[in-house]
Structure 1
């Protein structure tokens, strides 16, 4: 029976509402320029004086807001770039200097007035680290000092605005207290965790300490104008019943909408709360009492034939725009919000075979292929463009989840918008880490485990901050699950309300796991900490050594290539590390972890450039094997894995698919190939050719083509057979081990695997370079040079097609790096998105690669650089 959503007097569907009211769209703008700052020791006046326009600030330092004290000092060239070389050692650390060194006043002017009766003006601060007092036009706004890095602040400033519209804000920002001793431990001495803030700033095994602990107005500051009623913290929920497919007509879905309505005035306000969905408006009459905030639940709406949102690899990421409004007396728009909504439902269930949690979206099980994320930039320099680029890289790696590690923060709405766009589910940790919060004994820590287990000092502030941050991001389709902390639960009096009341009441649609390697997520029947292994592994181990069934952290190396290293290592320190322990101090400072004996099969490095080239071969093999090994046992051993880690917010030399400067290395493309939605692969342990199908589609009449190529380019067809595979499984097909052992015996061999459809289009391909039977790549070092032809043309602004061909009489053109470069400097343009890279081209074949970037107006037409293992670098012009 069709649900009747019409209720007399109170509820109505308004189809022509906008023809009968005075429209006043919400006005909001960011205060992100004109700020100035000064150290507290240099300022004698108080906030009352500083926030008055008569006080002169022309000699104050231009400040970066949003930003930190260190960011402002760097932008004013008061400190060297802490990401380069050993420069970070030249910056005074707050633990040594005292907190006053990084305690600063921030001041800015803006023009705003209450232009009409009933106008309300609001000041919103989305994040200050760590505590602050705020003054406007000679008045203090916050009655008591604000504390907490993550807790948003909102002030009605209507009565404080100046009559002439010229206003001044003054904010004094105090660092965390305590700041922690950066003594080399994970989170230093652990004391930073006594605050409700991020923990990595005191140093970790992938970063050096951030000297000001990221003190500052680090997130956005907004001015908002409304009428009498302010819409706050809307909550949008979609219900998608049953087991859905990405294609075809859909059964209906249900839309549920609630919102807070704040009335700061002395009078009751009558009006209509409404939301508009695809041209239909659902509304409800509401009366909001004076000086109050009420939550209103609007009538549910049935979405017919919805366009669903799917994780990357399973379907499209359809997004709708929902317009939420409050109309005073049903006529005048008091406030409105436009909210991006993905229609989907996330469920989980226990998988008895793997003994781990299984994630489902729209009724379909999703094999989780994830990456651990720290933060976009260690100094909190966030931009929409950088978020978009980083999440796009994760999409391009064919991942479907990002986990936000608990020593950082609740990621920003702009991060989540990018995940919505590219289909990355998010597992969001709260602010706990086993290292600082007492899971283990640790001589580096100041206080014992019993004391650290009670961190942070202010549990009420933690819960208040959690409530606020849940409200901030809960509408994003990509948000998939909440996690109490990294490798440890919060203290019981935080955990219990968070799990049992706060998340059920404020969200109620997502899985909450108590900590990142909890038995409720992944039963730890093997022992140990429940995650890992870390560091470089024999590639066979990813296939044949069973680890934790939903592994929250498993990782390896990730050094960039030579050009990446040049960006942050001084020339005199460009010295290749030698196994096992001879490492340059700058490399060590940037957290290099050894490639050990895994470089040597390619020949001992002759230079740092040679080392970096060979490291890319190892990178590609490591991450392809990692994700293939897990995929080969999906639903048998595993329901998912999350790589530690896929990015670095600092110039570290480990666990990254692209460097801090957004330059991808071979890890990204090895992972991209290994985690294709439909993927053909070779097991190095039993020699089986397998197919992993990480889609909800069954495939029949796939042609499986298996070839080898020797070092001279001569090919041998081993098999060509039609196969099929059901949805979301992996399956074994052919055994090759004996055959390949004979072919690879002396010099090694190349193995080519392809899946083709009936139109002979390649749906998946994989290209392995197998060592000789002694585990050495002797043949690679004896290969003759290959010459390839390259043709490039513009498809559109910022979009390029590159065709690469290898001659039929040539050897394999092996492991070619493609780079889009500036024609003058010959340096790479960043970021650039390549449909593939580090590619090999077999004799007589052609590959087409697509490049995409955002050209700058003042840049000359770029060139394309191509160079490989046995291909000399050459430059290709792009034709129109």
Structure 2
């Protein structure tokens, strides 16, 4: 057996989000806490409602100790300036400094025949649990990710006034935050978040994320409780999203049924789908958990779930019920998608290739750490972040192994927006011994055995597989980041647990293993990570399914102002000299590329020029990989697309959910149908990620003088591009050389349908012969005509027009502004941004935001490289 059990504790029974119990509510307010040093009483006394809580702090649950201290103004914001440096670190204070009691009073009674369950979805790192003067767990509960469920029916107060007390202890070994990846590495002796001891993109989290960090629920059922339903969908054959009639799919469903009574229970487990009832009669033994498998159901003409860019994300909802007689004992609503994901080795590229519903999918992915370094998660934030990834035209997110199994709310958003998920288990080569590292306390042989408790790792894996396996977005499992776990974890995980508990998804031993991508060019199977000459992504072959390839990501000036004090807003100087606050926030030097646009006058000028580098970097990255689709590559995953802290690297939007040009360069380069130009040889290419041939495409190629705006038409021609491929069309190198423009030129590519509908457009700004953008620096000012109209409560239509006598209105940033405060409305979603408007051209941009979170009158801000700032009122 993998599970420790007591007469109260039933582990691994909590359900995924997307599974909603009829009678479940969250305990997420009215909590109080105090440091262990402030109380002498034991848990039996603290959990008595008669015991007074003198000078206890209001606690944030879900949340960490550091979050509670911040919310009570006990510490300064660790995301701002150098504040984090001065917060006491657990390694130096000792664990008691962050060991806290948490208390919650709640009202609940059990009616005759009812069972009441307490469910904890995540506590870091250990805890003891008391209710109304009684201890509920026989042994201390350990493991950040391990869920637990307790039957508290017999421990509820008769008058319904209950007190829950939880003693939360930090990780046993918090690790020395000595500046290494994961500090001295010993944080990995525990089964917790390794990044909290520091990484190259974050400073240490001083409490190591100690706290009741995930949700706490009360659920009420009758005698039988439904737990861990499991749905498998089989979609045979090769499908297309737009087929009117789909051949049938098969639905397989099972669930664990817990009979909490002292008597056998006869009943029926059932659900309804497509006007049919699928059921099975069962007899459940007393005080036992039984897995029940329902008959397979053949779903006619299913509505399929597809990844972003390939089709709709259709989702089904069913109610799974257990009926005893005519009475519902428990009912769960389950959301799922009908799809099948398979994999096949591509011998030509030397890498794994993904298929969804029988169709090959070119992976365009981003690496994800965690939504918030202090674990301040919300469904709204997850929704915004995953929507940004959808807007980048990506189709996959990889969850990095130094963090967590992402929360069901994350997966719910991925289901909605069509992002496949590559889920690492919780091991990383830096801490777990892949490399010799002088920053680490212990040698590689010792670190290779981390974590200390291998049985706990298997228990946690069992639990987390059950937590997320129903989500259609979950596509792949991975043993760890750049390393496998120890063999006595890896082998049972790969050969026993996953085949038994899932068995429908491919398992990569580790993130850059040979099973993912053959190491044919040397190195460790991923990278590069620094800013590159854009030609590199097109002309230099990297790993054929690169799990981490990335670059820079400094935000714009408004972003920098949120976390860098005014006196530190000083632009970095080449070579690689930056202010101390910039360095503390992990700045990567790319002044050499910024300086090609002219030496930065100040931080505001630097941030604007950095956006030009950002846009070009990520457009070129995805275009370069797409140009070698199925030849060099089956996919790439960018390192990384978001930051859970205010770091100055690897992000398409900042911690505050404000977008930068990385997002829109990547959005452009990742278009499903895309026209592009290879900067190495000026070859114009077409990319089609779709499943159908695109015919009768009209391609227009023009150049524009940067100073005058005068255009030169090179070609208009019809063309076509096959399904799921990239295609060379023609080179324009001779044409560009003939322009004899020594200081730079714009190249405009536009792709039209036969009906003259614009399908794709792309504007490149080419440097002069010396590699600098001299002509850009000499561009004349121009003025845009801008109007904004509210379509409905949370949608704005923005129209921008450039007079035909003007030069190009280059690289315009759009922001939604609160008129009263002058601050940006965040998050806001733009159909395009950092856009250029050609002479005589009009563009319409849509802006979405959440009205309920952003009250008050708003304006639209527009400014660009050669366009002065405008603030435009929104017409109703």
Normalising by structure 2, what TM-score? 0.97
1:222 aligns with 2:213: no
Structure 1 residue 517 displacement after superposition: 0.1
Equivalent residues of 2:363, 2:635 under 8 A apart: yes
Q: CA deviation at 1:89?
A: 1.1
Q: Matches of 2:852 and 2:85 in 1, distance apart?
A: 35
Q: What does 1:114-125 align with in structure 2 at a 5 Å threshold?
A: 114-115=110-111, 117-125=112-120
Deviation at 1:758, TM superposition (A): 1.7
- Structure 2 partner of 1:512: 507
Does the 8 Å contact 1:744/1:772 carry over to 2? no
Which aligned pairs between 1:598-617 and structure 2 lie closer than 5 A? 598-617=593-612
Say if 2:556 is the partner of 1:561: yes
Would you say the 8 A contact 1:413–1:473 is kept in 2?
A: yes
Instruction: Go from structure 1 to structure 2 and tell me whether the alpha carbon gap of 1:356 and 1:25 turns closer, same or farther (over 3 Å shift).
Output: closer
Distance 1:76 1:278 in 2: 52
CA deviation digits over 1:642-686, x for unaligned, max 9?
000000000000000000000000000000000000010000112
Aligned to 1:126: 121
- Stretches (4+) displaced over 6 A: none
Task: Give the drift of 1:278.
Answer: 3.3
Give the match for residue 451 of structure 2. 456
For residue 689 of structure 2, what is the aligned residue in structure 1? 694
Matching residue within 719, 725, 730 for 1:734: 730
Q: 1:154 aligns with which of 149, 158, 176?
A: 149
Which of residues 766, 770, 781 is equivalent to 1:770? 766
Identify the match of residue 46 of structure 1 among 42, 52, 70.
Answer: 42
Residue 741 of structure 1 deviates from its aligned partner by 2.8
Alignment of 1:734-813 (within 5 A): 734-743=730-739, 745-813=741-809
- After superposition, the C-alpha distances for 1:538-594 in whole angstroms (9 at most, x for unaligned) are 000000000000000000000001010000000000000001122100000000000
Is 1:626 the counterpart of 2:608 in the alignment? no
1:64 corresponds to: 60
Q: Distance in 2 between matches of 1:857 and 1:211?
A: 31
Q: Is the contact between residue 424 and residue 479 of structure 2 (CA under 8 Å) also seen in structure 1?
A: yes
CA offset digits 1:797-853 (Å, max 9, x no partner): 110111100001000000000000011222211000000000000000111100000
Separation in structure 2 between the aligned mates of residue 25 and residue 638 of structure 1, nearest angstrom: 44
Structure 1 residue 386 corresponds to structure 2 residue 375:
no
Equivalents in 2 of 1:437, 1:485: separation in Å? 10
Q: Which residue of 1 aligns with 2:408?
A: 413
Q: Deviations over 1:693-745 (max 9, x none)?
A: 11112110011111111121111111110111111000000101121133263
Q: Name which of 820, 837, 840 aligns with 2:836.
A: 840
Residue 437 of structure 1 is aligned with which of 432, 447, 456?
432
CA RMSD of aligned residues (A): 1.0
Contact 2:21/2:333 (8 A) holds in 1: no
1:595 to 587, 590, 595: 590
CA contact (8 A) 2:340 2:356 kept: yes
Rate the CA distance shift 1:436–1:601 in 2: closer, same or farther, 3 A: same
Deviation at residue 859 of structure 1 after TM alignment: 2.5
Match of 1:718 among 711, 714, 721: 714
Residue 14 of structure 2: aligned partner: none
1:9 — aligned with what?
A: none
Once the two structures are superposed, what CA deviation does each residue of 1:142-183 show, in whole Å capped at 9, x if it has no partner? 110000000001000001011111111000000001000000
Q: How far apart are the structure 1 equivalents of 2:477 and 2:202?
A: 25
Partner in structure 1 of residue 11 of structure 2: none
CA deviation profile, 1:270-317 (whole Å, cap 9, x unmatched): 000001213322111011101110101100111111110000000000
Q: Kindly indicate whether the alpha-carbon contact (under 8 Å) linking 1:25 and 1:333 is maintained by their aligned counterparts in 2.
A: no
Aligned residue in 2 for 1:682: 677
Secondary structure at the counterpart of residue 599 of structure 1: helix
Query: Which residue of the partner structure matches residue 319 of structure 2?
Result: 323
Partner of 1:779: helix, strand, or coil? helix
**Residues of 1 paired with 2:228 and 2:145: CA distance?**
16
Once the 2 structures are TM-superposed, how far is the Cα of residue 858 of structure 1 from its aligned partner?
A: 7.1
Q: Would the aligned equivalents of 1:744 and 1:770 in 2 still touch at CA under 8 Å?
A: no
Matches within 5 A, 1:633-672: 633-672=628-667
Matched with 1:10 is none
Q: Which moved more, 1:858-867 or 1:304-313?
A: 858-867
Q: Secondary structure at the match of 2:774?
A: coil
Moved more, 104-113 or 24-33: 24-33
In structure 2, how many angstroms separate the alpha carbons of the residues matched to 1:625 and 1:430? 31
Alignment correspondent of 1:306: 302
Deviation sequence 1:756-796 (CA, Å, 0-9, x none) = 11221111111111111221111111111111101111111
Q: 2:255 aligns with which of 222, 236, 259?
A: 259
User: Following superposition of structure 1 onto structure 2, how do residues 113-262 of structure 1 map, counting pairs within 5 Å?
Assistant: 113-115=109-111, 117-248=112-243, 249-262=245-258
Give secondary structure in 1 for the equivalent of 2:657: coil
Q: What's the TM-score once normalised by structure 1's chain length? A: 0.96
Given candidates 857, 861, 866, the residue that maps to 1:865 is 861
The answer (yes or no) to whether the contact 2:572–2:591 under 8 Å persists in 1 is: no
1:32 paired with 2:24, answer no
Q: Distance in 2 between matches of 1:823 and 1:472?
A: 44
Per the alignment, residue 525 of structure 1 pairs with 520
SS of residue matched to 1:612: helix
Aligned with 2:851: secondary structure? coil
Contact map agreement 2:348 2:631 (CA 8 A) in 1? yes
What is the CA–CA distance in structure 1 between the aligned matches of 2:297 and 2:217, rounded to whole Å? 32
| Counterpart selection for 1:277 from 265, 273, 277 | 273
Question: 1:91 — aligned with what?
Answer: 87
Cα distance 1:303–1:570, how it changes in 2: closer, same or farther (>3 A)? same
Report the equivalent of 2:538: 543
Q: Report the 3-state secondary structure (helix = DSSP H, G, I; strand = E; otherwise coil) of the residue aligned with 1:671.
A: helix
1:792–1:801 contact (8 Å) kept in structure 2: yes
* Structure 1 stretches lacking a partner, 5+ long: 1-23
2:483 alignment partner, SS class: coil
Answer yes or no: is 1:334 the counterpart of 2:329: yes
Secondary structure of the 1:326 match is: strand
Inter-partner Cα distance in structure 2 for 1:118 and 1:564: 56
Please say if residues 557 and 654 of structure 1, whose CA atoms lie closer than 8 Å, have aligned partners that are also in contact. yes
Change in Cα spacing, 1:25 to 1:415, as seen in structure 2 (3 Å) is closer
Q: Distance in 1 between matches of 2:826 and 2:366?
A: 22
User: C-alpha separation between the residues in 1 aligned to 2:490 and 2:481?
Assistant: 13
Cα deviation, residue 860, structure 1: 2.0
**Residues 39 and 101, structure 1, Cα contact 8 Å, conserved in 2:** yes
What residue is the counterpart of 1:552 in the other structure?
547
Provide the residue aligned with 2:573 in structure 1. Answer: 578
Name the SS for the 2:599 alignment partner. coil
Residue among 802, 827, 842 paired with 2:823: 827
Taking the TM superposition and a 5 Å limit, the aligned residue runs for 1:390-405 are 390-405=385-400
| Contact kept? 2:825, 2:854, Cα under 8 Å | no
Deviation at 1:747, TM superposition (A): 2.1
Quote the residue 1:428 is aligned against. Answer: 423
Instruction: Please give the alpha-carbon distance, in whole angstroms, between the structure 1 residues aligned to 2:584 and 2:718.
Output: 53
**Residue correspondences, number:** 855
2:274·2:299 contact (CA, 8 Å) conserved in 1?
Answer: no
- What is the rounded CA distance, in whole Å, between the counterparts of 1:26 and 1:423 in structure 2? 28
The farther-off stretch of 852-861 and 658-667 is 852-861
Given candidates 87, 108, 113, the residue that maps to 2:104 is: 108
> In structure 1, the residue corresponding to 2:797 is in which secondary structure?
strand
